[in-house]
Structure 1
């Protein structure tokens, strides 16, 4: 079965007082997922906004990636591709460093 899909990701960045927040929105055509990420500049570091943008955006997209993995695990389990009782993959957690 050949098919072509296009998924779109929009990343919105907000910066204030050394803190950058990102919101990434994945649109698949059938669903939407939103990821969040935050980066804070250490007061001892030089404030380079581009670095905060990169970190916050990466964390927001990582959040979406974790949601996609959970969705895939759920879908595989629904069609019997995962053995019963298989635990979900680790690293779904959202650490305080990213909140």
Structure 2
């Protein structure tokens, strides 16, 4: 029987002048919290468009989160099989 699962990701964005910092986090079903961090810095010559800094910082944080989640998955596989695991990136 098919099962639908839902995971929720929390996104926190901090802006200070021309710098945007994003933290994204997810709690796995096993209760592990995994967090990714992303940073964006506006070029002083560019116009101030905060949404662009948000998008860039969050996209980088999501990419970082994905990498950390893959690493956690490798550890889980190694723990379950007793063999090292290396997932394709």
Superposed pair shares fold, TM > 0.5: yes
TM category, shorter: 0.7 to 0.9
Is 1:15 aligned to 2:15, yes or no?
A: yes
Please give the per-residue CA displacement for 1:42-94, whole angstroms capped at 9, x wherever unaligned.
11111211110001011111111001111122222334496x5x65656xxxx
> Which ranges of structure 1 fall in alignment gaps of 5 or more residues?
91-99
Asked if the contact 1:24–1:35 (Cα under 8 Å) also holds between the matched residues in 2, the reply is: yes
TM-score (norm 1): 0.73
Aligned partner of residue 46 in structure 1, secondary structure? coil
Q: Quickly say closer, same or farther: Cα 1:74–1:38, change in 2 above 3 A.
A: same
> Which ranges of structure 2 fall in alignment gaps of 5 or more residues?
none
Kindly report structure 1 stretches of 4+ aligned residues shifted beyond 6 Å: none
Q: In the comparison of the two structures, how many residue pairs are matched? A: 88
Q: CA RMSD in A?
A: 2.4
- 1:75 matched to which residue of 2? 76
Is 1:39 aligned to 2:40, yes or no?
A: yes
CA displacement at 1:32 relative to structure 2:
1.5
